[in-house]
Structure 1
Amino acid sequence: MSSTSDIVTVTPNPAVDLSTAVDRIVPVAKLRGRSQRRDPGGGGINVARVIKRLGGDARAIYPVGGAIGNLLRQLLDEEGITSHTWTIAGETREDFFVDEISAGKQYRFILPGPRLDETEWKQCLKLIAEIEPFPRFLVASGSLPDGVPDDFYAQIARIAKQRGARMVLDTSGPALAAAAAEGVDLIKPNLREMRELTGSEPSDAYAWEVAARELVEKGKATIVALTMGHLGAALVTRDEVLRAPPIPITPRSAVGAGDSFLAALVWRLASGASRPDAFRLAVAAGAATLLHPGTELCRPEDVARLAGQVTIETV
């Protein structure tokens, strides 16, 4: 694989996200959607999309299977994202999201997706290993498909280390634990993922930050970017802890908020920004995504506006 980009994202379990809105969700009756929207989805794909929107450039590596896989690639082409894909036997998954207008609630249906055999998931590792020139940032994000071993992201982390790249990871469960044991540059857990990784249940933001610092001190990550919902967010390194209270907004959808946060953070770090400046834009991008229904992700004008409302505290 040859072309230049400072950032490459890896999404082993991508999807096409379908979203609509209905007045009320009730059983048996036909629920007629008021809208229909299809977006390319999956953690790393969303990261690449947001980086593109913010004025950066990122390439996306992901598998494609069947008609949905072809649609996924077409949707990314339309957004100007450079794709590097490999073909799998199974059909790329679809997810769907329904906004219930009367109750102001959102329902998220995440489908299991295809199973990858050993030849298929090893093709991803081969694609990554053959990137020339190698990116400075390799962002691996999202769930692992059935058939892919728990240490898949740890194997990618080893490739990144060998090539001198910064490995950024956003996943959960055994896949996160295995990669953290290998050691990565940056992880972006939410509170549930931190609970799984640390086995602890801190009671407040400070205690969560202490738990994140312990991960850094153990060599599991150089930076922990911790998103804490109503408690805000924190950026934890060996030398400092930055905390940002949540921006007071009324959320319409949480889909892709974490991906937008990570995209802005990585893009600004890759651009040479300071950690506080990168963290500020990340918090703004995550909040900007909450403003819109369905699977739209953040808009650059909202990110710019909200960045001025972010308060960064050094703890």
Structure 2
Amino acid sequence: MSRIVTLTLNPAIDVSTVAARVEPTRKLRCGLPRYEPGGGGINVARVIEALGGETMAVYPAGGPFGEMLQRALEALGLPHLPVPIMGDTRESFTVDEGESGLQYRFVLPGPTLTPAERQACLEAIASLVPAPSHLVVSGSFPPDVELGLHDEIADLAERMGAKLVLDYSGEVLRHAVARGGIHLLKPSLSELSTLEGRPLDDETEQEAAVRRLVEQGAVEIVVLSLGAAGALLASREGVERFRAFDVPLRSAVGAGDSVVGATVLALSRGWSLRDAVRYGMAAAAATLMRPGTGLCRAEDVERLYREG
């Protein structure tokens, strides 16, 4: 079985709770908190593991939340490789408002990594035997990290013969696309609009933008997340839209990571590209059904995929 390695450069402990109403100034009495490991690549690895795949999550960890993150991953039984750092791993905070059903998500910036710590993350991946079939880099970059770190990641994936899968945003997304060599890219609509430098509200414009990424040779596969509108797939075979699954929404945390995890897992198993994206959409829908920062369950993913 192919092993999929994920790199999370800015992981977090995700804290989620419930309050009757979110309002300023007053003390808000909350329900019991849930603590779960978070960060894009870690979420991707959790999804792959839940769906029966072989994975390894590589991430920097420091301070009390770094220790909590390691214990949480050990409790889940998720294969993981922490890289010690001097800074403190961040926490993210999610509050579900009981009266309205709205969700409020507070994301902190995280620690700065030293050049030696960044290099240690890459060396941890390079030391893995056997080399992974796919390297997934997902989530935000730590503060003050040079864009050249992406070039080092891409060079490492090329040396190992691993297919590079990215879920980036902002300037690092623009830099990565300019460099090219991406096997699969999973932007959101807002991220793609930022990359294009203009809103992409029209379906024709969206299709032209993802097709352009493929035709320019920067990316082999683009899976554009469109939220309730589903997803848009672009490859050398053309462009195809996928409708979203109709499921009750409890939390949107981790839905995009679920798309990445399930899609890459299916591709590593030799599935067709279309079926792999459908599987990713089923995983995202199964995650939307879970409260707080909970991710998809295998039985829900399989059921939705069969019914869809």
TM range (shorter): over 0.9
**Which position in structure 1 is the counterpart of 2:212?**
214
**Which position in structure 2 is the counterpart of 1:54?**
51
2:69 to 69, 72, 75: 72
- CA distance in 2 between partners of 1:216 and 1:10 (Å): 24
User: How much has 1:167 moved relative to structure 2?
Assistant: 0.2
Q: Is the 8 A contact 1:117 1:147 kept in 2?
A: no
1:147 to 122, 137, 144: 144
Q: Are residue 177 (structure 1) and residue 174 (structure 2) matched?
A: yes
TM-score (norm 2): 0.95
Matches within 5 A, 1:241-256: 241-256=239-254
Q: Is the 8 A contact 1:96 1:110 kept in 2?
A: yes
Q: Is the 8 A contact 2:44 2:258 kept in 1?
A: yes
- Secondary structure of 1:149 counterpart: coil
Matches within 5 A, 1:86-97: 86-97=83-94
2:298 to 297, 300, 309: 300
Q: Are residue 34 (structure 1) and residue 31 (structure 2) matched?
A: yes
Q: Which amino acid aligns with 1:138?
A: L
Q: Is the 8 A contact 1:7 1:57 kept in 2?
A: yes
- CA distance in 2 between partners of 1:107 and 1:202 (Å): 25
**Which position in structure 2 is the counterpart of 1:20?**
17
Q: Deviations over 1:28-74 (max 9, x none)?
A: 33322223210000000000001111111210100010111011011
Q: How many residue pairs end up in the alignment? A: 307
**Which position in structure 2 is the counterpart of 1:104?**
101
Q: Are residue 121 (structure 1) and residue 143 (structure 2) matched?
A: no
- Secondary structure of 1:29 counterpart: coil
User: How much has 1:129 moved relative to structure 2?
Assistant: 2.6
2:192 to 184, 190, 194: 194
User: How much has 1:263 moved relative to structure 2?
Assistant: 0.5
- CA distance in 1 between partners of 2:160 and 2:288 (Å): 36
- RMSD of aligned alpha carbons: 1.5
Q: Deviations over 1:127-186 (max 9, x none)?
A: 223322211100000001013212322321121112221000001011111112222111
Q: Which amino acid aligns with 2:29?
A: R
Identity of aligned residues (%): 48
Distance change in 2, residues 1:154/1:180 (3 Å):
farther
- Secondary structure of 1:308 counterpart: helix
- CA distance in 1 between partners of 2:189 and 2:95 (Å): 25
TM-score (norm 1): 0.93
- Secondary structure of 2:54 counterpart: coil
More divergent stretch after superposition (127-136 vs 291-300) = 127-136
Structure 2: gaps spanning 5 or more residues = none
**Which position in structure 2 is the counterpart of 1:136?**
133
- Secondary structure of 2:125 counterpart: helix
**Which position in structure 1 is the counterpart of 2:222?**
224
**Which position in structure 1 is the counterpart of 2:162?**
165
More divergent stretch after superposition (195-204 vs 295-304) = 195-204
More divergent stretch after superposition (115-124 vs 266-275) = 115-124
- CA distance in 2 between partners of 1:200 and 1:215 (Å): 15
Q: Is the 8 A contact 1:247 1:309 kept in 2?
A: no
